[in-house]
Chains A and B, each alone.
Chain A
Amino acid sequence: MSKVALLAPAGSLEAADVAFDSGADLIYVGLKGWSRGGYRGELTRDEFTQCLAHAKRQGKRVWLAANIIPKPKERAELLRRLADLTASGLEGVIVNDLGFLREVRRVFPDLFVSASIGCGAMNLEDVRFYEAQGAGAVVLPANLEPEEVAAIKSKTTIQVELMAHMVEQFIQLGKCFMPSYLHFRPTDREEVGLRLTGSVKRGGVGVCFRVCQEPWELSDGDRVREQLLFPSRQLSRLVDLGEFLDAGVDIVKLQGRSLPPELIAPLVRRYRSAIAHWENGERDWVPPEPPVLPPMWTMVGR
């Protein structure tokens, strides 16, 4: 059985160092303008080089979240950047778009590709689909149950990443077009050109402005029935992580590229510890800290 890997977010060089020090085996970062996290939480090319060097020194790995949906004319540019980064030692890339996944497989057959949570895989057949497309791993959301993961793992050989710590927005990631319906604007971005503010799925700039976190009135005809926020919740599968690992999860992934280093550290440590206890065969281990984390930990960019 291969070792479980812990995949942590890093929105800055400092966060990357802290993530490694706290026990992450690998981290994922975005390159300015080319990920779904927005500019906040993305690295410059120089920072990326440094990040890779830091990882190498410690025998750890870096993946790139290239999880935008490149327009046809952006595709070549993103592939060019991937070629550059791969030559510098990038080992894996997280993609969001099926078409781009295929391009990456074709151009970089040796680069590890993970199908992002934005791909929306939730069931066995989805995972089989991405397996057939040549993805090395597929990300599943934390709202799935261990039995669902076990059913998937029993019929596939692809690696499964569980986004064990994440905010579950009311609308599924990768299937939400509310922001752009309400506010959508082409925005010129230095370095990368025209991008579309409000298109969460396509990413690349300022992206989501969290309309789901606004107070809404729910009305039935002219009658206002409720004041509501769209329910979102923090999911943290720390307590039942062992069951997911038993089910065959290969990679434990944590969300939050916009988390500051001081929150990355305890988050990564908790999951490292849970994995270590599981690896020691301590099946009835329970984490000492409460599984629900302080609210500020949920202010994550993806």
Chain B
Amino acid sequence: MKDPPFELNTVLSNLKDLEGSDLTAFDAVYLGNIYCRLYEQNFLERPDDLKQGILRVKAAGKKAYVSTYAAPRNSFLPKLRKVLEVAHSVPADAVEVHNLGVLRMAHEEFPDLKVHIGGMANVYTDAGASVLKQYGAERVTPNYELSLDEIRELTRASELPAEILVHGKMPLGISDHCFLLDYEEKWGIQCPTLCQLPLFVKKDGWAMRSAGKGIMSGKDVCMLEHLPSLLDAGHRVFRIEAAYETAVYRREVAQVYREALELALTGEPYKIDERWWEVIRAHAHIGLCNGFYFGRTGMDYLDASSPAIASFLGREVAAD
């Protein structure tokens, strides 16, 4: 079977999300919530669900990957070993690891399991990527703080392909504690639905999405305008980070990116359809940013080619 020209993927935390999501526009799905063992019906705590999830994604003709906890303590390891066993036996198409201990476990105990390195694994340089390659890594999400120039250098020198977050909430940190649990009683909302509220921490013009243990960008990273240059740079794997979003978000945003990537690959002039902007705008409650891809503050948005998006961002578009 011929490989598709690019891969658009996303991540889903549980069977409920998988069942409720239209995955038509995706080529691959990561299964599992990397932040929290208590996340509602987390695939990573339910081997049977995980197995079913992998089978369903594969039956839909897509690649099924299994994600793993970003910051596990000793007590997580038996469950993680079980997760790797399931990924290996069904099998999943790869596991994503953010923790080097889990990488070692996968490499030693399941050597033929394919490994992707996740964005919380802190790969900043080709030197780091090369070490991970010796542990069987076949793909790496460089640390989100890297610019596209740095990513290009990393992939060139390490000869590892990069996965690029093109849209959604960029992970900004992980905690060992969930501070939301302090509010269970006061708010009358219990874990595990607490972190599924649209929670943001805000200060002046700043906002970040809080998921209790995990914290993410408040703005949606949006690389819609830059897809041709990402393709030119040789990138082929793109992620929509939408673990804490709605099924509608996943479906509509993915559809936009699929159409846009397909257009960009034709080599025809790349013009962003106004309909695409409408979808992006409707889902970006805080705003849009480019992450660190242009070597700037993560919440900045570099430029805006379209008047509609410029006005959404509160900017003026330079006259031609």
Contact = CB atoms under 8 A, between A and B. Distances in A.
Contact of A129 (B74, B100, B170, B203): B100
Interface stretch (B21-29, B37-45, B171-179, B257-265): B171-179
B313 interface: no
Contacts of B67: none
Given A172-B173, A201-B122, A144 B73 contact: yes
Interface string B118-136: 0010101111111110000
Contacts of B171: 177
Given A123-B72, A184-B292, A199-B145, A214 B122 contact: no
Contacts of A228: 179, 201
Contact of A180 (B198, B200, B208, B297): B297
Interface stretch (B9-17, B48-56, B102-110, B248-256): B102-110
Contacts of B71: 120, 122, 172, 175
Interface string A162-184: 00000010111011111011111
Interface in B191-217: 197-203, 206, 208, 210, 215, 217
B74 A177 contact: no
B298 A171 contact: no
B94 to A, nearest CB: 19
A129 B126 contact: no
Contacts of A126: 99-101, 104
A177 B131 contact: no
Given A102-B127, A199-B145, A183 B297 contact: yes
Given A102-B127, A123-B72, A176-B172, A218 B297 contact: no
A225 B145 contact: no
Please tell me the size bucket of the interface on A. Answer: 35 or more
Interface in A76-133: 97-100, 102-103, 119-130, 132-133
A175 B70 contact: yes
B131 A181 contact: no
Contact of A178 (B157, B172, B187, B295): B172
Nearest to A130: B100
A188 interface: no
Given A152-B74, A171-B175, A180-B292, A72 B125 contact: yes
B82 interface: no
B143 interface: yes
Q: Is the interface of A mostly helix, strand, loop or mixed?
A: mixed
A124 B74 contact: yes
Interface string A137-154: 000000110001001100
A178 B102 CA distance: 25
Contacts of B179: 170, 228, 230-231
Contacts of A124: 74, 77, 101
A69 interface: yes
B122 A120 contact: yes
A271 to B, nearest CB: 23
A198 interface: yes
Contacts of A2: none
A186 B269 CA distance: 34
A172 B176 contact: yes
Scoring A103, A130, A177, A184 by chain B CB atoms within 10 A of each residue's CB, the highest score goes to A177
Interface in B134-169: 143-145, 150, 153, 157
A262 interface: no
A148 B77 contact: no
A202 B197 CA distance: 33
A202 B124 CA distance: 8
B206 A182 contact: yes
A177 B77 contact: no
Contacts of A181: 170, 172, 208, 217, 297-299
B296 interface: yes
B177 A72 contact: no
A75 interface: yes
Nearest to B200: A219
Contacts of B296: 184
A8 B71 CA distance: 27
* Most B-side CB within 10 Å, residue of A126, A148, A183, A231: A126
Contacts of B217: 181
B81 to A, nearest CB: 9
A251 to B, nearest CB: 20
B104 A219 contact: no
B312 interface: no
Given A175-B120, A177-B172, A184 B127 contact: no
Given A122-B74, A129-B101, A217-B203, 4 more contacts: A99-B131, A123-B77, A128-B101, A171-B172
Q: Which 3 A-B pairs have the closest CB atoms?
A: A99-B127, A125-B101, A181-B298
10 contacts: A71-B125, A72-B127, A98-B127, A99-B129, A100-B125, A122-B74, A123-B77, A128-B101, A128-B104, A220-B197
